[in-house]
Structure 1
């Protein structure tokens, strides 16, 4: 990998809740679970943090994560950022992480289509792309106190909605809430479309109550900036961040430079033949 992953010593130094003995205990447990892949110290930290340092919840989340990756391998394979398919999806949608966090310390994942042409839209590739950006950010920057997903709906058309696959949406929302090592704090849509109710009716049945309560639709910036201050937003949205296109290029280049990271991550799956029967 061209860009180094974050040094775990930095994480111990800046987080008093993170205890080496807790991390070692989780690693010891993981090494006794023969069906799981071998995880490293950074991975154990990410899962512990995402579960608010609850050991048993972290164990469940680790098992959920690697089992989901194995059962739904189509979302976690063929992810070479230089490939034609991945270049195509990266050219037609912006997925980036803003440089500045919210006052609460939440990282902001931003998603937007480049234009309204739905011919280039493939839900599986889009979700794969979002996950790649999030996971590389986690490994390079370390855990965040929370993540907000911010979606600009401006270029979304009814043709995009017709291409949504309910089973795939359901699976990804399960992964996001119960397997991915992040603290999901909210989902925010702005520039909402007329048929926003169609999207909400699709995703709400698969969201936990606390996430439904943290789901917001913003028709004006006045409500959005209550959650995402102007100084966190790109300048093309009235903020002080660099323009979205430049943030996107940085992320895109980062994915390409770290292709080896995704190759490594693809090897981390469960072996069900070795799972201990209860």
Structure 2
């Protein structure tokens, strides 16, 4: 039998005990209790059910077994219902690759003071002629799949910073209710990650208006973790130490290299002109980020039932 608790430092082990109700003595029992619930959902194809995989859902829901199973079910149901997102779900897919190369997302090597991995999105880098919002969402989901393999991040979680500087009204008008609900469903309701904070920086009025519109779709816990800083970098720095932030946010780290995470996934020989066929379980990713190989959760085309796609109108309409 696998040892799902291996890989945690003593500090993370204690944090998991205090914050997540994780008990090493009952770990295998807790996992099996969730696994036993799978028979209650014959409509869902559970493509991965090993101990380590189920454990991340227990950690995401503080070892509430019924809530953990609900999240596990939603994870695979979301993939069943949105096959277009997970078709060719790998780093060398052209759309995902372009999004990664443009920094969607960025991932800092230095965690914050709580051990949480910091993800960055510079919204104005969205070139709608180069990649779609769906490609950006796919790149974010794939990046999280890579990162969540690290048991420490299952315990410590993530922080997301979105810089809206120079994000135009025209760009914002392309964010439809449909794609925003899809992103919320994929990240909030269907993925086993702990988000300690979602920080909006330099957001214009129309982004604040958009947030007001989507707020009803957010869980109360999510709403409490969204911070609208505007131009006040001091409030951001009070929540994330300056020693953990790049200079764009008034931090002591060098300016963020937008291609850093893409190069990490694509390999040491990455260049903008090259084409790659590597997948994200390459050894350089494992060595650099302490991540083990992962490929079992990828949904292959045709494995699950497809769902109809909706059309939608812009959230913010241009006159």
- TM bracket (short chain): 0.7 to 0.9
Per the normalisation by structure 2, the TM-score is: 0.72
Aligned to 1:217: 228
Give, in angstroms, the shift of residue 177 of structure 1: 1.9
**1:82 equivalent in alignment to 2:92:** yes
**1:9 equivalent in alignment to 2:6:** yes
**Secondary structure, counterpart of 1:102 in structure 2:** coil
**1:147 equivalent in alignment to 2:158:** yes
**1:229 equivalent in alignment to 2:251:** no
Which of 135, 147, 156 lines up with 1:125 in the alignment? 135
Aligned to 2:284: none
CA RMSD, Structure 1 to Structure 2 (Å): 3.1
**Secondary structure, counterpart of 1:151 in structure 2:** strand
Which structure is higher in helix share?
1
Decide whether aligned partners of structure 1 residues 42 and 25 sit closer, same or farther in structure 2, where only a CA change above 3 A counts: same
> 1:166-190 CA distances to partner (integer Å, 9 max, x unpaired)?
1121122123222210122322111
Per the normalisation by structure 1, the TM-score is: 0.82
Q: Give unmatched runs, 5+ long, in structure 2.
A: 268-276, 282-292, 306-319
Q: Which is further off, 155-164 or 26-35?
A: 26-35
**Secondary structure, counterpart of 1:110 in structure 2:** strand
Q: Give unmatched runs, 5+ long, in structure 1.
A: 1-5, 273-278
- Within a 5 Å distance, the mapping from 1:126-205 to structure 2 comes to 126-140=136-150, 142=152, 143-205=154-216
**1:112 and 1:152 in contact (8 A); partners too:** yes
Decide whether aligned partners of structure 1 residues 257 and 116 sit closer, same or farther in structure 2, where only a CA change above 3 A counts: closer
Decide whether aligned partners of structure 1 residues 180 and 97 sit closer, same or farther in structure 2, where only a CA change above 3 A counts: same
Total equivalences in the alignment: 267
Greater RCO structure (CA 8 Å; 6+ sep): 1
- Within a 5 Å distance, the mapping from 1:245-264 to structure 2 comes to 245=257, 247-253=260-266, 256-258=278-280, 261=294, 264=297
Decide whether aligned partners of structure 1 residues 269 and 234 sit closer, same or farther in structure 2, where only a CA change above 3 A counts: farther
Give, in angstroms, the shift of residue 94 of structure 1: 3.7
Decide whether aligned partners of structure 1 residues 249 and 63 sit closer, same or farther in structure 2, where only a CA change above 3 A counts: closer
Decide whether aligned partners of structure 1 residues 156 and 108 sit closer, same or farther in structure 2, where only a CA change above 3 A counts: same
> 1:200-237 CA distances to partner (integer Å, 9 max, x unpaired)?
13421211122222221111210111211111112444
